[in-house]
């Protein structure tokens, strides 16, 4: 694939996988609103802990879904002969670890940059969501304590 083709494909697939990540965030926010009230009878620290653990695990599941989506693309393109290598490359690229022991061939290597860029975006979004949730929980607890 040409350089321009890789850029177009990388941008398009980043749009698709970001939609997956944002969908998970929207579901998390809705879940947060639904479960927050029933958990009010728990002490503040326990309630915050339950919601934080559930949120982090949900975001991890979202990350796995995004990694699988990238791995599926790599597999569909024929960049890897097995899903494990495709998943591994997607995971180390999204987390920006980039060990370099498994790499895309020259005809697809630009895609790994898109994968890494998406990792930065997703980690930023997830961090912002978690901070906002914790801020809201602290504010709600302060109102309950008054």
Quick check: 98 and 121 in contact, CB under 8 A?
no
Residue that has been written with the tokens 């989506």 in this structure:
69
Domain residue limits at 36 = 3-145
- Phi, psi of 44, deg, nearest 5: -50, -45
* Range 82-111 average pLDDT: 92
- Is 128 a residue whose pLDDT tops 80? yes
- Is 142 a residue whose pLDDT tops 80? no
* Range 79-84 average pLDDT: 94
Proportion of the chain above pLDDT 70, given as a percent:
98
Rounded-to-integer distance, Cα 81 and Cα 117, Å: 25
Residue that has been written with the tokens 């790499």 in this structure:
103
pLDDT at 106: 86
* Best CA proximity match to 51, nearest among 65, 37, 72, 64: 37
**Mean pLDDT computed over every residue of the chain:** 90
Least confident of 37-46, 56-65, 96-105: 37-46
Confidence at 133, pLDDT banded by 50, 70, 90: confident
* Best CA proximity match to 63, nearest among 44, 90, 33: 90
Structural tokens at position 111: 């895609």
pLDDT digits (tens, 9 = 90+) for 56-76: 999 999 999 999 999 999 999
pLDDT at 65: 98
**Number of compact structural domains in the chain:** 1
């Amino acid at each position: 694939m040409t350089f321009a083709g890789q850029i177009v494909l990388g941008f398009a697939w980043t749009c698709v996988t970001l939609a997956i990540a944002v969908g998970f965030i929207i579901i998390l926010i809705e879940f947060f609103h639904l479960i927050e009230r029933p958990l009010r009878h728990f002490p503040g620290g326990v309630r915050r802990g339950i919601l934080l653990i559930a949120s982090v695990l949900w975001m991890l599941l979202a990350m796995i879904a995004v990694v699988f989506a990238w791995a599926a693309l790599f597999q569909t393109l024929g960049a890897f002969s097995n899903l494990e290598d495709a998943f591994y490359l997607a995971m180390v690229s999204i987390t920006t670890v980039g060990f370099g022991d498994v790499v895309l061939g020259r005809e697809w290597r630009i895609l790994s940059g898109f994968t890494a860029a998406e990792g930065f975006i997703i980690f930023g979004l997830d961090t912002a969501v978690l901070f906002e949730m914790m801020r809201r929980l602290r504010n709600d607890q302060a109102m309950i304590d008054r």
